[in-house]
Amino acid sequence: MVKYQTDELYACDIKFNTSITAEVTKIKNKINTKITDDLSSHDGSITAEIERILNTKITNELSTRLSKINTTFTAKLGRIIIINSPQK
């Protein structure tokens, strides 16, 4: 009788452990899927944000440099016009 109860407890223990392991595995898989989905959706928005920031920085830098070139060119052109203008 003791052996039967021990076997029955052992069988219940195995069943319980198997059930717990299966549930933990399901939960772990759901969490991993959720994390992967979240990272994927955020990755797209992060990439878009990086592109926006880089485009803004590139545009600002280009605008600044072109402005400097334009200022320099205008100043030099002004000097050339003054030098080549007929003196009165």
DSSP state of 87: P
State the pTM of this model. 0.41
DSSP state string for 34-54: HHHHHHHHHHHHHHHHHHHHH
Per the document, the length of the chain is 88
pLDDT at res. 73: 81
The token pair at 51 is 């592109």
pLDDT at res. 77: 76
Task: Indicate the SS3 state at residue 88.
Answer: coil
DSSP state of 65: H
pLDDT digit string, tens, across residues 26-75: 888 888 888 777 777 666 677 777 788 888 888 888 888 888 888 888 88
Q: By C-alpha distance, which of 7, 4, 26 is closest to 15?
A: 7
pLDDT at res. 43: 62
